[in-house]
Chains A and B, each alone.
Chain A
Amino acid sequence: DSGVTQTPKHLITATGQRVTLRCSPRSGDLSVYWYQQSLDQGLQFLIHYYNGEERAKGNILERFSAQQFPDLHSELNLSSLELGDSALYFCASSPRTAGTGELFFGEGSRLTVL
């Protein structure tokens, strides 16, 4: 158990809809990273938040947004969903911004868009 909690574990929705994925980092970790794993693109970095502030963006679509709240949990919002958004979304937490190589992954949220 990494200590990172992601909900929901599974989600099935329709095209055009909007969903929110939630991540609770390990106790004390200030950084939250979001990754997407799809059949086409493999595992890709989406976005990084540190103590409530966005630190880096990767290949994140404009239809997607994220935020980190004062209690350090993070939410990834996916809107106007398309079939290609079906993927496994991982959250990872880390104690600091960078330089430690310590990343702890949650079990992922599997999104299916029909």
Chain B
Amino acid sequence: AQKVTQAQTEISVVEKEDVTLDCVYETRDTTYYLFWYKQPPSGELVFLIRRNSFDEQNEISGRYSWNFQKSTSSFNFTITASQVVDSAVYFCALSEEQGGSEKLVFGKGTKLTVNP
């Protein structure tokens, strides 16, 4: 069965520090999608990125970057020059397709606190 592990339960940094959130996944599928979501204190799930298993290119979006490595089954997320507004819980997720249904398997989340 699919599994997503976010080993870091909580991380605390000072503003302007870089921070990397780790995500390791397990799957037997050859085609799958990986996701990162942000959940601010208000509770909604904010989509950050979706990555197809065939696309191993790293991606950068502003202060955010993602490192996808199939060889180590990892999909890590780095925030450069962190800001207080980045404080949230971040979830990594893996799509699992079974019987014509595509559900997401989520990690437990990493709570990031950025202190001023």
Q: Which residues of A contact B (CB under 8 A)?
A: 2, 33, 35, 42-45, 48, 50, 55-56, 58, 88, 90, 94, 97-105, 107-108, 110
Contact = CB atoms under 8 A, between A and B. Distances in A.
B63 interface: no
B102 A97 contact: yes
A72 B42 CA distance: 27
Contact of B47 (A56, A58, A97, A104): A104
Interface size class of B (residues with CB under 8 A): 20 to 34
Interface in B43-59: 43-45, 47, 50, 52
A55 B107 CA distance: 23
B33 A56 contact: no
Contacts of A100: 102
A55 B101 CA distance: 6
A46 to B, nearest CB: 9
Contacts of A104: 47
Contact of B33 (A55, A101, A105): A101
A101 B51 CA distance: 9
B106 A101 contact: no
A42 B45 contact: no
Nearest to A110: B43
B16 to A, nearest CB: 30
Interface of B: 31, 33, 35, 37, 43-45, 47, 50, 52, 91, 93, 95, 97-109
B43 A56 contact: no
B43 A107 contact: yes
Contact of A50 (B91, B93, B98, B100): B100
10 contacts: A33-B103, A43-B91, A43-B109, A55-B100, A56-B103, A88-B43, A98-B97, A101-B35, A105-B45, A108-B44
Contact of B102 (A2, A35, A58, A101): A101
B95 to A, nearest CB: 6
A2 B103 contact: no
B109 A99 contact: no
